[in-house]
Amino acid sequence: MASENAISFLRNLAGGRRLPLAISIAGPHAFLREYVFASIRDVLAGSQLDHRSFQIGAGDTFAELISELMTPGLFFKASLIACRVLKSRRDKSADVEADGDERGGAKTEDQALTDAIEKMTGPSYLVMLYDRDVVPVKIRRAIEKSGLSITCSRPFDNQLADCASIFARRLGLKLTPAALDFVVARYAGDLAAISNAFDKATITCADKGRIDVEDLLGSGRARVPELFDLAESLARGKANEIVWLIDRAIELGRDPFELLAVEVIPALRRMLVAAAMLAKRRSDRDIARSFGMSPFSPLTARAIEGARGYGLAALAKAYRAASDLDAGFKLGEIKGHHQALARLVVELIASRDAFSSPQTSSSSTAR
């Protein structure tokens, strides 16, 4: 069958897609990996399947899994065989590049697993979840011959509304347009928070079958820094407030690396896109359309406000700096993540002041 991204797979699954016998799941987005895995199990839960689980870590082998694939069940005609391959399993044959071949010779055990996968004819299902970015090439190719490999990457900004709708649909609920705009503005790329908000809303919304904005308002939300607050502070150049939000989020268990990747960089990207489009004299509605959002979305409004406040040059410089910081975090070249992130946003806000000062002075001179 080939490969597919997680969002496309979940959309088709909600539409009644028939699942192939062999599926692999991998990718850099940990929450999406788990969500896709759970969604597949939910779909197959209604079938008369014996559920067998395997966990393969450092020093473990695929021998028992291969035996299960090759041997029919004693009491059940079909099984759901779920295998989680942990990050700790790091042998040479599994150390692969995203689009390259394996480094080193293939092991007999891996070859036996690929042979067993290629011989699958049903009615059992195999779902392999890899806690890493890619599936070993040999195993992926065996699965893709008749099955499906799913890649779980971070969704783009214009896919966030689609993600939210999919999460609600899985719970048997619909989102009102206002609730959809609200949840995207409030949580943006934090998919785990969106899913958790819907899980809690289900308690009160199951009977009416839809989620309204008021169903997503929690009594304690003001005590917890949300993504919407951080994006708003960035757009408006509130240095003290944004540093406090970062400090508070870290105190509550958020990681600086996550804050940079999930909140700061997407907010900068939206402002940069808006600034580039404003420079071409495009309308606010055109900008919203490029984000895949409503023109009345608070997230769109913050992006346009930030674009006008910082200017294209400052935002381009800040986005490059944020991307370099993200790479430095990933490569382990930068220590003191908290301080580095705070310094980045303070320097960005200082550039806003530098950008707006000449405009202010020139306008006062004109007067």
Q: Is 51 in the same domain as 110? A: yes
What is the spatial distance between Cα 327 and Cα 129, in angstroms, rounded to a whole number? 26
Residues 6+ apart with CB under 8 A from 203: none
Task: Decide which of 132, 151, 170 is a domain's last residue.
Answer: 151
Q: Is 188 in the same domain as 241? A: yes
Task: Decide which of 133, 151, 169 is a domain's last residue.
Answer: 151
Q: Is 169 in the same domain as 116? A: no
Mean pLDDT of the chain: 81
Q: Is 270 in the same domain as 338? A: yes
Q: Is 57 in the same domain as 124? A: yes
- Report the CATH number at residue 352: 1.20.272.10
Confidence of residue 357 (pLDDT cuts 50, 70, 90): low
Q: Is 147 in the same domain as 211? A: no
CA distances to 129, 280, 286, 355 from 276, rounded to whole Å, are: 40, 7, 12, 16
Q: Are residues 159 and 292 in contact, defined by beta-carbon separation less than 8 angstroms?
A: yes
Confidence of residue 93 (pLDDT cuts 50, 70, 90): very low
Summarised one tens digit per residue, pLDDT across range 332-349 is 888 888 888 888 888 888
Q: Is 105 in the same domain as 201? A: no
Task: Decide which of 127, 151, 175 is a domain's last residue.
Answer: 151
pLDDT at 279: 94
Which range of residues forms the domain containing residue 131? 2-151
Q: Is 231 in the same domain as 247? A: yes
Confidence of residue 359 (pLDDT cuts 50, 70, 90): very low
* Listed residue (88, 92, 132) closest to 109, CA to CA: 92
84, β-bridge pairs? 55, 129
pLDDT at 333: 86
Q: Is 182 in the same domain as 307? A: yes
Q: Is 312 in the same domain as 192? A: yes
Phi, psi of 182 (to 5 degrees): -65, -50
Maximum alpha-carbon separation in the chain: 90
> How many domains does the structure of the chain reveal?
2
Phi, psi of 210 (to 5 degrees): -145, 160
Q: Is 239 in the same domain as 320? A: yes
Question: pTM for this one?
Answer: 0.61
- Report the CATH number at residue 120: 3.40.50.300
Q: Is 223 in the same domain as 353? A: yes
Summarised one tens digit per residue, pLDDT across range 273-324 is 999 999 999 999 999 888 877 777 777 888 898 999 899 999 999 999 999 9
